[in-house]
Structure 1
Amino acid sequence: MTDLFQEPDDATPLDPSERDDLKQSWITHRRDLNEAEQENIVKGAAWARRSRGTNPADILSEDFAKTLHRRMFGDVWKWAGTYRRTERNIGIEAYRIPAEVPAMFDDIRYWVEHKTFPPDEIAVRLHHRLVAIHPFPNGNGRHARLMADLLIERLGGQPFSWGGGSLADIGTLRRGYVTALQAADSHDIRALLAFARS
């Protein structure tokens, strides 16, 4: 069980109390956890695509974001769909999350309504803002990518490819993703836009 909670250096480590919230006792290795989470994510994505309309506003809310996270990770983690209460190596202070997430969705709805940016850029900026806030104990990148895919679909575009591989594995693809996120942190969204469509 030693490798169960091993994370890449650039990933968000779980707090020991959050590790205790693993629901499935059969999960004893990292590969088991990855498999269980991926199966749950597929179910969450299917729910999101069949249960919501085509209006972007249908998904641009705190309630939807929390429900989607719960649908993506709720078979695996008790804390799924709830905001983190502990500090991380990334993201804002935990106490700011309940105010920042609704403010972010206000911005995104404004951008959609007023066509402030092209559709791809709006969706990628949503992704970046969610990752920067890092509202949940874990799964933030996967949740943010699905939120961006759902938004671009509602804006008439195709889902993003996000490099066309698994970002869970340490390697060139993940390093490219993290580098693009870091550039966006410095207000240069171009690399993240290119990565999303690569």
Structure 2
Amino acid sequence: MSDPLFDADDNANTSITPEEREGLIPTYITTRRELNEAEQININDGDRWAFARRSRDVLDEKFLQRLHKEMLGRVWRWAGRYRTTDRNIGVDRRQIEPELRGLLNDVRFWIEHKTYSPDEITVRFHHRLVSIHPFPNGNGRHARLAADLLSLQLGIALFTWGSANLVEEAETRRRYVEALRAADAHEIEPLLAFARS
């Protein structure tokens, strides 16, 4: 399955392949545009669900899985479940759970010991979550929402993430991917700047 964030093909009218349809719930979807629209509607509902909750611990593994399910569960049967195949991005599928637990423990430590500023803690959390790539699809969108929820827990303003739809806006998506790659090389500043742009 492709990841719309990293896809080079920006043609929204591209047909979805039989492989890409695996696990798809709505039967009417035949193009990438229809898929993006259905996902965005579900993601908006997931946002409302997440922000309406009084009790939400974004540093809880089960909450992160439920968040993904709320964001994409009406579009994909596998929503909220970790991927079972290896990809060209993300950790080995067998390392998803230990890497995720390590990330959550690290973030708790950073918060408790004020290792980084709240902005940097949140952006590092986002980057590592994207790098783990726990789900078959929707990882960037899930990680941005999870980071926004962590921002609330830390009492800081939500990030703007380039102020554009990263699936549809090619230039903003390019800047985001470049910032993620810089963070892969241990340069977090471009991702911090992008998150607040």
TM-score by length of 1: 0.89
2:25 is aligned to: 23
The residue identity in structure 2 corresponding to 1:124 is: V
CA distance in structure 2 between the aligned counterparts of 1:71 and 1:17, rounded to whole angstroms: 23
2:6 is aligned to: 10
CA distance in structure 2 between the aligned counterparts of 1:62 and 1:169, rounded to whole angstroms: 29
Whether contact under 8 Å (1:18, 1:137) holds in the other structure is no
Is 2:107 the partner of 1:105? no
Is 2:52 the partner of 1:50? yes
TM-score by length of 2: 0.90
Within the candidate set 33, 38, 41, 2:40 is matched to 38
User: Paired residues, what number?
Assistant: 190
**Change in CA separation of 1:7 and 1:98 when aligned onto 2, cut-off 3 Å:** closer
Percentage of identical aligned residues:
54
The residue identity in structure 1 corresponding to 2:46 is: G
Is 2:69 the partner of 1:73? no
User: Structure 2: any 5+ residue segments left out of the alignment?
Assistant: 9-15
The residue identity in structure 2 corresponding to 1:53 is: S
The residue identity in structure 1 corresponding to 2:151 is: I
**Change in CA separation of 1:52 and 1:106 when aligned onto 2, cut-off 3 Å:** farther
CA distance in structure 2 between the aligned counterparts of 1:34 and 1:26, rounded to whole angstroms: 13
Whether contact under 8 Å (2:72, 2:79) holds in the other structure is yes
Q: How does 1:1-198 map to 2 (within 5 A)?
A: 10-11=6-7, 19-53=21-55, 58-169=57-168, 171-198=170-197
The residue identity in structure 2 corresponding to 1:44 is: G
| Consecutive aligned runs of 4 or more in structure 1 exceeding 4 Å deviation | 5-9, 14-18
